[in-house]
A and B are shown apart, each in its own frame.
Chain A
């Protein structure tokens, strides 16, 4: 929130009513899908298809009933999907972050052989579309019998070149060489210097990279869709996609599935929305690092 003091200094044009009204319209646009889901997850099938107002509550508001159905359906498969998503996001996020922090620090603070060449490879990797790798990775994993396991989803998400780039930029600017040299002169080894001196200085960027890579794993769809065939291993994105396919395939027969999908969409969104609100400070600082370069 470093912008607060500056905002005070440039607090000149205050009102700008037309702009605020315009912003109001934009906010409504960005919130409409959320509103629709919040309202309609309270309805049962007749409420959904009964032709009532689609942007307002029906007479019967039954969040708890729908929640209960959601988590009971198919032996609680939805709860499993949420747990799977959490596992993939945590394992992929933490793993990718550790690798990115180490590599970014290494690139920024050591002049080792082939450093420039390797770093330009990392920069080049930023431009390789992630989905281009999915089919060949699937083929490789199937040779090793790794497809349709949790590793098929976790291992490829350890690769985060953008995280390495962010950490490199941040370590270069925020960790002065003098402090590292002082620590070494005091007899600290390289690992201790990294863990106890450099790491605390890099912490804001570490949190950002952790958030970004955890979100990327949580949101991933193409990779798990290709890798997994056992629906008990699905993350929630693939699971809801599956339900939606089933529900639209037999239009009339699956009206009850629709209310599960709507409730499922709402529940799947809640954890990340909470995380974004509570961790605002962290991602904002990190995004500015990425944006300024």
Chain B
């Protein structure tokens, strides 16, 4: 009662501020909303639907019935799914370190020396990124081919028989090579961009302290681009675990080497589209997506911990 007149202006500004706040909420959602709709429609809804579908089974007799987690139990005891999962894990363990080491080495070289040839190389090494993975696989399929690939000729020069990268012994390395060719240049560009962002006076200081080029690379450059390295590690992990395009394309050339259950994704595709077994296909997709998500999330969590620890 006594203070009635004093806070009047304050009330008004509060009202205005409230209006501004409301406006900010509305405008914010108007800008984010359209993406939000797409996000709900093409990410959240399919994930929810996949989860829903994966809880049912379609039987010849009795129609579709709710089976709860049976499809997942089936998947994790299905030798096809397990061998595919084991393959992509082994493949990740070999191909990802290889790609990152190659990319890092190239980025360090390109960062350390400058010449017209170096600039040209940078562009040429990046070029495979512009090629669809399918076309890349088709091209390497030609090169591996016995009937018109060059390997027979090249090894013939030395009197040796050419390795057959489409045979079941070597298909693993054949695919490692295709993937490295396709992605190392892209990772190189990301690392190179990060290296170019480092303040060059750091190198001067290190040199004053007597550090050689190797030490500068190992002690300064690599630690400073750790976050870019982490980024490409995560991207390559997500990409490799859902491996599909390259083996699917090489499959027709390597008859008998690559089965329809070669990777989990190929198996899900086969279940859904060749066998019309959408419930089981959804379960495999969802299980794979879940493994990737949890794996990457855990990885990021642990590296973040460790990094803040250092």
Contact = CB atoms under 8 A, between A and B. Distances in A.
Interface of A: 3, 6-7, 9-11, 13-16, 19-20, 22-24, 26-27, 29-34, 36-37, 40, 48-49, 53-55, 98-100, 102-103, 105-107, 110-113, 115, 118, 121-122, 124-125, 127-140, 155-156, 158-159, 161, 164, 190, 194, 215, 218-219, 221-222, 226, 236-238, 240-241, 244-245, 248-249, 258, 261-262, 265, 268-269, 272-273, 275-277, 280, 284, 287-288, 290-293
A124 B234 CA distance: 12
A276 B147 CA distance: 33
Interface stretch (B10-18, B73-81, B115-123): B115-123
A135 B278 contact: yes
A158 B42 contact: yes
Contacts of A134: 285
B150 A55 contact: yes
A268 B132 contact: yes
Given A287-B193, A292-B193, 10 more contacts: A16-B112, A31-B127, A102-B35, A112-B24, A122-B39, A134-B285, A158-B42, A222-B245, A244-B249, A261-B138
Interface in B98-118: 106, 109-110, 112-115, 117-118
Nearest to B279: A139
A190 B46 CA distance: 34
Contacts of B238: 127, 129
B170 interface: no
B113 A19 contact: yes
Contacts of A7: 114
B136 interface: yes
A133 B46 contact: yes
B222 interface: no
B175 interface: no
B241 interface: yes
A129 B32 contact: no
A140 B45 contact: yes
22 contacts: A11-B114, A16-B113, A20-B117, A23-B106, A23-B109, A30-B128, A36-B142, A36-B143, A113-B25, A125-B43, A132-B288, A139-B49, A140-B46, A156-B42, A159-B42, A226-B272, A237-B135, A238-B134, A272-B130, A272-B131, A273-B130, A290-B231
Given A9-B200, A19-B109, A237 B31 contact: no
Interface string B284-308: 0110110011001100000000000
Interface of B is mostly: helix
Contacts of A124: 293, 297
A218 B197 contact: no
Contact of A293 (B127, B213, B227): B227
A165 B120 CA distance: 31
Contacts of B117: 20, 23-24
B43 A30 contact: no
